[in-house]
């Protein structure tokens, strides 16, 4: 519901799409789409063997990759949050780091082991800065630097057809990707829906309104 509230708070109206058996025709009634956080993407989808810490969500993989590719093909404005950003990369030929502690040697991107990402307690999330590339769409939206929350153990390695425009300055983990064309396509690795900073959702709503006006 935190995603629904974020959409509503920024002037949009949320319609939930369940992963059981959606068709791409559902996109015809939408002006924009959010791909939410959740479980890990199956590494087989980007040609890697499964790490012991990876817990793939195959049902969501199937539906979200189908919807992601259809949304990209149709030029639908989109926002990817955490897993949603990772789906953006994998859907366009990219790949992921499966377990960040193996790469960077710490767990600070998801706070203490065993914490609950759905808990209301802010200590359940990691905290770190993000540096944003000057001249990018994300820079115009979010500024040069911001402090974010996070709860993830995987991250983007190859961004696919997207451009990396934000990263954690401490370890260079990718935190923002975006499209290169005129359509709003933004991925963030943190969880803005769990904060008071809803600029990413507001930008999606604005882009969706422009799409609706054109249609």
Task: Output the six-digit token pair for 128.
Answer: 């770190």
| Residue of 97, 109, 153, 191 with catalytic role | 191
Give yes or no for a contact between 55 and 40, defined as CB atoms under 8 angstroms apart: yes
Under 8 Å between Cβ of 14 and 1: no
- 2-40 burial, b at 16+ Cβ within 10 Å, e below that, comes to ebeebbeebebeeeeeebeebeeeebeebbbbbbbbbeb
Check if 191 is active-site: yes
Report yes or no: 126 and 151 within 8 Å, Cβ to Cβ: yes
Of residues 82, 97, 153, 178, which has the active-site annotation?
A: 82
Catalytic residue among 64, 175, 178, 193: 193
**Residue 36 appears among annotated catalytic residues:** no
Q: How far apart are alpha carbons 194 and 119 in whole angstroms?
A: 10
- Which active-site residues does the annotation give? 82, 191, 193
């Amino acid at each position: 519901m935190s995603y629904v509230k974020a959409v509503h708070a920024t002037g949009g109206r949320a319609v939930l799409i369940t992963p059981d058996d959606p068709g791409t025709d559902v996109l015809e009634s939408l002006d924009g789409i959010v791909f939410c956080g959740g479980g890990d993407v199956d590494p087989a989808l980007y040609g890697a063997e499964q790490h012991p810490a990876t817990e793939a969500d195959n049902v969501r993989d199937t539906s979200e990759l189908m919807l992601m590719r259809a949304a990209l093909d149709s030029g639908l404005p989109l926002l990817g949050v955490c897993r949603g950003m990772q789906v953006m990369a994998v859907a366009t030929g990219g790949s992921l780091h499966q377990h960040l502690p193996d790469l960077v040697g710490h767990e600070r991107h998801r706070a203490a082991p065993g914490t609950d990402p759905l808990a209301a307690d802010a200590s359940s999330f990691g905290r770190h800065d993000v540096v944003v590339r000057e001249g990018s769409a994300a820079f115009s939206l979010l500024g040069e630097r911001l402090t974010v929350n996070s709860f993830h153990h995987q991250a983007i390695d190859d961004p696919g057809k997207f451009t990396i425009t934000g990263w954690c300055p401490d370890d260079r983990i990718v935190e923002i990707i975006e499209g290169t064309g005129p359509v709003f396509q933004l991925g963030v690795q943190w969880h803005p829906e769990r904060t008071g900073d809803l600029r990413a959702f507001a930008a999606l709503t604005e882009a969706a309104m422009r799409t609706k006006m054109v249609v």
